[in-house]
Structure 1
Amino acid sequence: MNSILLIDDDFELGELLQEYLSMEGFQLTAVQDGETGLTEALSGKYNLILLDVMLPKLNGFEVLRKLRAESNVPVIMLTARGESVDRVLGLEHGADDYIPKPYHHHELVARIKALFRRIELSSDVTPQVSSELHVGDIALNPTTRTARLDGVELQITGAEFGVLQCLMEHVGELVDKDTLSIAALGRPLMAYDRSIDMHVSNLRKKLGKRDDDSDWIKTVRSRGYLLVNV
Structure 2
Amino acid sequence: MRILLVEDNEALADGLSAILKGTGHAVDVVRDGASADAAIASENFDLVILDLTLPEMDGLDVLRAMRARSSKASVLILTARGAPEERVRGLDLGADDYMIKPFDISEFEARVRMLLRRQAGLRSAAITFGGVALDLNSRTFSAEGAPLDIPARELGLLEILFMRAGKVVAKEAIMQSLAAFDDDLSANAIEQYVSRLRKRLAPHGLTVRTARGIGYYLDKASAA
TM-score w.r.t. structure 1 length?
Answer: 0.50
Contact kept in structure 2, 1:79 and 1:87, CA below 8 Å: no
Contact kept in structure 2, 1:22 and 1:28, CA below 8 Å: yes
The residue number in structure 1 matching 2:20 is 21
The residue number in structure 2 matching 1:114 is 114
The residue number in structure 2 matching 1:96 is 96
Letter of the 1:87 counterpart: R
**Map 1:80-229 → 2, pairs under 5 A:** 80=80, 82-122=82-122
Contact kept in structure 1, 2:3 and 2:28, CA below 8 Å: yes
Instruction: Measure how far apart 1:123 and its partner are.
Output: 10
The residue number in structure 2 matching 1:149 is none
Instruction: Measure how far apart 1:3 and its partner are.
Output: 1.0
Whose relative contact order is higher, 1 or 2, with alpha carbons under 8 Å and at least 6 apart? 2
Distance 1:77 1:19 in 2: 19
Distance 1:24 1:44, change over 3 A: same
Letter of the 1:120 counterpart: A
Letter of the 2:4 counterpart: L
Contact kept in structure 1, 2:47 and 2:74, CA below 8 Å: yes
The unaligned stretches of length 5 or more in structure 2 are: 125-224
**Map 1:58-97 → 2, pairs under 5 A:** 58-70=57-69, 71-80=71-80, 82-97=82-97
Distance 1:22 1:29 in 2: 10
Contact kept in structure 1, 2:73 and 2:119, CA below 8 Å: no
The unaligned stretches of length 5 or more in structure 1 are: 125-230
The count of residues paired between Structure 1 and Structure 2 equals 123
Distance 2:32 2:82 in 1: 23
Contact kept in structure 2, 1:79 and 1:86, CA below 8 Å: no
The residue number in structure 1 matching 2:48 is 49
Q: Give the 4+ runs in structure 1 shifted more than 6 A.
A: none
How many percent of aligned residue pairs carry the same amino acid? 38
Distance 2:2 2:63 in 1: 18
TM-score w.r.t. structure 2 length?
Answer: 0.51
Distance 1:18 1:81 in 2: 21
1:95 aligns to what SS in structure 2?
Answer: coil
Distance 1:69 1:54, change over 3 A: same
Instruction: Please list the CA deviations of residues 57-110 of structure 1 after superposition, one character each: whole Å capped at 9, or x if unmatched.
Output: 000111111111111211111132642222111011111111111112211110
The answer on 1:12 being equivalent to 2:8 is no
